[in-house]
């Protein structure tokens, strides 16, 4: 069973702070790692993807991947109330083109 | 990014009827399309994977005779929920995949279809 684990939250941070979202996965051979944002009642939208160990930055977002620890994280700098949503971690298992999603972490950014 | 549409965005039907949901990739040709179902406060659960011109691959526990998938072209896939029952009420989301750099597949999600079966 390929599993992706996330803390369900909610994670509450004040506006302007850094939000740190974490995800672990069970399949050591996983190739691709994605972070999606999902607002209530809406479908997921892709924030970032990462394939190589290390950090990848895109605007206020930084994805971090550590394959040895089977861990991927998403940092959101200067958090805004509009960032309040559920963040889904998704992993492509080895040998597959499908995505396995975690249950998501709810982020609440207070003004 | 690529655009994927779904129709209808919401549907209410009576128990026992069939409902068809369309998924279209508007500005690219999708090699693969995926159908997900999401219950309230749950994550997305993959139902099936479909490639144009071939039979869909269903995930364990998903009844292929109940959830009929047709992938007639590189831009259109349909999901038909046959003889729908209240327990089929859910948020159905499709995604379409195309290759990005390095040969990795990126999935682009449609806006979803809210199905309510009375």
CA distance B10 to chain A (A): 11
The total of other beta-carbon atoms located within 10 Å of residue A53's CB is 11
pLDDT in tens, A15-61: 999 999 999 999 898 888 999 999 998 999 999 999 899 999 999 99
Closest CA to A11 of A1, A2, A22, A27: A22
Question: What distance in Å separates the CA atoms of residue A99 and residue A93, rounded to the nearest whole number?
Answer: 7
pLDDT in tens, A50-95: 989 999 999 999 999 999 999 999 999 999 999 999 999 999 877 6
Tokens 């990126």 — which residue? B106
Among B4, B21, B44, B108, most A C-beta atoms within 10 A, so best to mutate, is B44
Q: Which two tokens stand for residue B75?
A: 């831009």
CA distance A83 to chain B (A): 18
Q: Do A103 and B43 touch (CB under 8 A)?
A: yes
Residue B100: its pLDDT value, please? Answer: 54
Question: What distance in Å separates the CA atoms of residue B94 and residue A75, rounded to the nearest whole number?
Answer: 27
- Report which DSSP code applies to A17: S
Among B39, B43, B54, B114, most A C-beta atoms within 10 A, so best to mutate, is B43
Distance set, CA A57 to CA A18, A54, A76, A77, B69 (Å): 14, 10, 10, 11, 38
Q: Do A99 and B102 touch (CB under 8 A)?
A: no
A–B: how many Cβ contacts below 8 A? 50
Find the residue in B nearest to A42 (Cα): B111
Closest CA to A19 of A57, A52, A62: A62
Find the residue in A nearest to B101 (Cα): A51
Q: What is the DSSP string of A32-61?
A: EEEEEEE-TTS--EEEEEE-SSEEEEETTE
Q: What is the DSSP string of B73-110?
A: ETTEEEEEE-S--GGG-EEEEEEEEEE-GGG-EEEEE-
Residue B40: its pLDDT value, please? Answer: 87
Question: What distance in Å separates the CA atoms of residue B55 and residue B29, rounded to the nearest whole number?
Answer: 18
Question: What distance in Å separates the CA atoms of residue A109 and residue A11, rounded to the nearest whole number?
Answer: 8
């Amino acid at each position: 069973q390929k599993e992706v684990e996330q803390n369900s939250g909610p994670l509450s941070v004040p506006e302007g702070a850094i939000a740190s979202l974490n995800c672990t996965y069970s399949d050591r051979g996983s190739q691709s790692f994605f972070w999606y944002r999902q607002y209530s009642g809406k479908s997921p939208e892709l924030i970032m993807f990462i394939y190589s160990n290390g950090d990848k930055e895109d605007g206020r977002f930084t994805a971090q991947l550590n394959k040895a620890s089977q861990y991927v994280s998403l940092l959101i700098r200067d958090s805004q109330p509009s960032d309040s949503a559920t963040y889904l971690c998704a992993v492509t298992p080895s040998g597959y083109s499908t995505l396995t999603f975690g249950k998501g972490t709810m982020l609440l950014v207070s003004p | 990014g690529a655009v994927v549409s779904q129709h209808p965005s919401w549907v209410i039907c009576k128990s026992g009827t069939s409902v068809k949901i369309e998924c279209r990739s508007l500005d690219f040709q999708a090699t693969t399309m995926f159908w997900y179902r999401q219950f309230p406060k749950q994550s997305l659960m993959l139902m099936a994977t479909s490639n144009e011109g071939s039979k869909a691959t269903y995930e364990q526990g998903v009844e292929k005779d109940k959830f009929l998938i047709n992938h007639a072209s590189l831009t259109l896939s349909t999901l038909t929920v046959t003889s729908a029952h209240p327990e089929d009420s859910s948020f159905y989301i499709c995604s379409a995949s195309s290759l990005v750099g390095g040969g990795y597949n990126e999935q682009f999600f449609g806006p979803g279809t809210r199905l309510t079966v009375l």
